[in-house]
Every structure is written in C-alpha cells, then in structure tokens.
Amino acid sequence: MKTEGNADVFGYRHSGESRNPVPSTTWTPAFAGVTNTLEVTELIERIKQAITNRTPLCIRGGGSKTFYGRAGVGETLNVSGHRGIIAYEPTELVITARAGTPLAEIEAVLAANQQMLPFEPPHFTETSTLGGMVAAGLSGPRRPWGGSVRDAVLGVKLLNGRGEVLRLGGQVMKNVAGYDVSRLMVGALGTLGVLLEVSLKVLPRPASERTLLFQPGEAAIRAAQLPISASLEVDGKRYLRLSASARCVEQAIAQMGGDQTDASIWAAVRDQTHPFFATDLPLWRISLPAAAPALNLPGSELIEWNGALRWLISDLPGKTLRQRVVTLGGHATLFKGHDGGGKVFQPLPPAMLALHQRVKLALDPQRIFNPGRLYPEL
C-alpha cells in the first residue's frame, strides 16, 4: 500500500504502515457486516491513470448525496467497496472505519454499545457512507449541543492528488502534531483527496430521551440548564428533544409542559422525508447566528438548531436572498432544486477564493478530484 521507496533515503525509523497501528484487540470481525472489496492499490492505480490522462475523477460513495453541491464531472471513482470497520473500542470513545462503510452499519455497531455519533448525521438514503458523511460535512439535529462532523473527526487516511497515502491526525482525542488536514477534509466535497479511513470520536447515548411538542401560541420555557438536544419549528409548532438521565428528563418535562410525542420527527427532518421538504422549488439551507432575527423572506420555513439553521423553500433570486442572509451574519446554500451549474454555495470574497485555489492545488495539483463540485474555480 504505502510505498517505502524513500524510507532508506531519508532514514525514517517508522514506515507508513508500521506506525499508528490501529488497535484491534477488542474488535471482533463477527460484528462486521461488510468486508472490504476494494484495495488501496487499485485506487492509487486509478488516480495515477487520471493524472497521466488528465481526466478528472468524480468520487462516489453510496450515492446518497449526489444532489448536494454542484454537478460532478469526470469518470466515476466508486470507492464504496473500500469498506469495513477497522477498530472500535467503546471505552476509547473512538471508531475507525474505511470510508466506504455504510453509515447505518457504523451507527448499529455504536448503538449496540450504547454509543452514538454525537452530530447525528443525515443519511438521506440507506446507502450513505462514512466517507460521504465527512465529504459533505452535514450534521443533524443534535449539532448545537453535540458538536459537528468536523468536531468529531480525529484523523483520516487519504489519497492526495499525487496518489500518495497520507495519515493525518490520529485515533486520539488530543493531537496537535502537524496541520489539521483531517478536519480540512470535512465539507470539502472530495475536492482535496480520496478518503480511505476515518477515525471519529463517539459519545455515550443519553440514558433517556423524550420529545415534546408545543402547539402554536404555547410558549416553551427557555432556561439555560434544560437538557435540550434538538429543536424544531415547523408549521407553527415547536418540538424539543430532551436527553439526560431519566430523572433529569422527567424533572425537565414537569417544568416545561408541552405534550410528549414520537421521536421519529427528528430522523424525518434530518433525512428530509418530512412533508415540509416535498417540493420542486429551490430549497435553501441557511446558517445563521442562533439569535439572528427572522429572515422575513418570502417562502416557507423550517427552523432547527435553536434558530441557527433555517431551511427556506423559496424561488427568490439567490442574490437577493443571500444579501439578506449576509446582513444577518450567515451564509446560504442552494441545497436542492437547482441544475447543478450555478452558485450553489455562498460565493467567497476574492482573497478567500484565491487562498482556496492554492489550498486545492497543494493537495490536488492536477485538479483530478471532483473539479467544480464545490466552486467552479476549485
């Protein structure tokens, strides 16, 4: 896998494969639902071919988020075969898996050990993978309280645009050696490299969770110490999820009022199967400071993250919408309902765009990976 050609020249004491051995003492293959069918050597070969032929590669995992971002171009590089959980030691709160591992499999293994991905990532379809989750960088309802995908990434193994295997970050919570390239991969939509393995911090599942529904006009109590782990406002109704020990949750419910309701609303919103999302009109994902005032834009709106994430279905011109969003200190992504060719992500100021271009070239000098998926210039 890793070429050792330079090891003697430079006198390195550790080769790429002997260092950072992934702990495997407690991982029983019997848990593993999928086996690896795609070796890194094959991927390196494809990348080297692409460099030689100057043909871009469109990286594909489970294909659950092909709608997200600008349209992909180039030959499909399907990486979903590179899969399987490599290491999971529940008491370390760390899981390491190959990027093609289905998200559902990872979550099932964690759940069996009363643990979870704290950022509650959207799946959209059953096929979504770990690598796609990191590349898209989208977090779900628990994000303001449990952190983001990026917060949980501890390290990655990736292929850069020179076809080299790099291990960056690690499998430990604290690591400040080298630049934080592993977190740079989150949300880069595959434009900086092909993810091979990802190590994530995981957290214990709360002992108890309840969902409360507040009808229009019914005020939910706002107190700093309530164990809230998700919020939602849609159709005039407000939903709150409480997560803590059973007694703590019961005490909070007694304080707050509202009606207990089904927890399935959170997955429905996360994966956009909730009726709100059934539309052919443009769907905007608007990220704002939580206390920013109302958008006051035409369209229908669903609000998550205590106000920090607002979904807007609106055919307002992007420029007008973004002017308002920027005034409020946020940014807007054209999430769905577009042709893949326009300004999907908030345009960057010239100096930032130029820096992005240089960062892209530092990792992918031939612009092989997902060109144009994030911005036309990358």
- The Cα 135–Cα 190 span in angstroms is 6
Nearest to 301 by CA among 264, 347, 269: 269
Min. distance of Cβ 195 from other proteins in angstroms? 14
Contact residue for other proteins among 125, 175, 261, 366 (CB under 8 A): 175
> Of residues 54, 291, 296, 319, which one binds other proteins by CB under 8 A?
291
Give the three-state DSSP class for 321.
helix
Q: Which residue of 36, 66, 125, 180 would you call a contact of other proteins, by CB under 8 A? A: 180
Nearer to other proteins by Cβ, of 80 and 133: the residue is 133
Among the listed residues 37, 55, 76, 114, the single contact to other proteins using CB under 8 A: 114
Which part of the chain contacts other proteins (CB under 8 A), choosing from 42-50, 69-77, 210-218, 288-296?
288-296
Q: Does 148 bind other proteins (CB under 8 A)?
A: yes
Shortest reach from residue 275's CB to other proteins, in Å: 25
Q: Between residues 33 and 90, which has the closer beta carbon with respect to other proteins?
A: 90
Task: CB nearer to other proteins: give 81 or 151.
Answer: 151
Burial class (CB within 10 angstroms; exposed 0-12, middle 13-18, buried 19+) of 215: exposed
User: Of 57, 188, 196, 334, which one interacts with other proteins (CB under 8 A)?
Assistant: 188
Q: Is there binding between residue 323 and other proteins (CB under 8 A)?
A: no
Q: For residues 148 and 227, give the distance between their C-alpha atoms in angstroms, rounded to a whole number.
A: 18
25 makes contact with other proteins (CB under 8 A): yes
Round to whole Å and give the CA distance between 330 and 336. 19
The single residue listed with the structure tokens 């930032």 is: 352
Return the residues of window 49-88 that contact other proteins according to CB under 8 A: none
Q: Which 3 state secondary structure label does DSSP give 66?
A: coil
Considering only the stretches 53-61, 69-77, 258-266, 287-295, report the one whose residues sit in contact with other proteins under the rule CB under 8 A: 287-295
d(CA 102, CA 29): 16
In angstroms, what is the minimal distance from the CB of 75 to other proteins?
Answer: 24
**Interface with other proteins (CB under 8 A), residue from 34, 38, 71, 93:** 93
Closest by CA to 342, choosing from 313, 375, 299, is: 375
Q: Binding of other proteins at residue 301 (CB under 8 A)?
A: no
- Residue 261 CB-half CA count within 13 A: 16
Q: How far is the CB of 271 from other proteins (least distance, A)?
A: 19
Closer to other proteins by Cβ: residue 204 or 341 = 204
d(CA 179, CA 63): 30
Q: CA-to-CA distance for 373 and 99, rounded, in angstroms?
A: 19
Q: Which is nearer to other proteins, 314 or 333 (CB)?
A: 333
d(CA 228, CA 94): 24
Please identify which residue in 44, 57, 77, 94 interacts with other proteins, judged by CB under 8 A: 94
Among 56, 84, 144, 318, binds other proteins (CB under 8 A): 144
Residue 32 touches other proteins, criterion: CB under 8 A: no
- Decide if residue 311 touches other proteins (CB under 8 A): no
The residue among 26 and 215 lying less far from other proteins, judged by its C-beta, is 26
Beta bridge partners of 334: 284
Applying the rule CB under 8 A, the residues between 235 and 264 that interact with other proteins are: 244-245, 247-248, 251
If binding is defined by CB under 8 A, does position 174 make contact with other proteins? yes
- Candidates 2, 237, 324, 338; binder of other proteins (CB under 8 A) is 2
Cβ atoms of 240 and 263 closer than 8 Å: no
Q: Which residue, 56 or 146, has its beta carbon nearer to other proteins?
A: 146
The torsion region of residue 64 among left (phi > 0), alpha (psi -120 to 50) and beta comes to alpha
Instruction: Locate all alpha helices (DSSP H) within the chain, ordered by sequence.
Output: 7-10, 40-53, 103-112, 130-136, 143-146, 149-152, 181-184, 246-256, 264-270, 318-327, 350-363
Q: Say whether residue 165 binds other proteins (CB under 8 A).
A: yes
Residues 202-241 that bind other proteins (CB under 8 A): 203-205, 207, 224-225, 227
Contact 146, 120 (CB under 8 A): yes
From residue 215, how far is each of 245, 257, 259 by CA, in Å?
26, 11, 9
CB-CB contact of 232 with 239 (8 Å):
yes
Instruction: Report the distance separating Cα 160 and Cα 26, nearest Å.
Output: 31
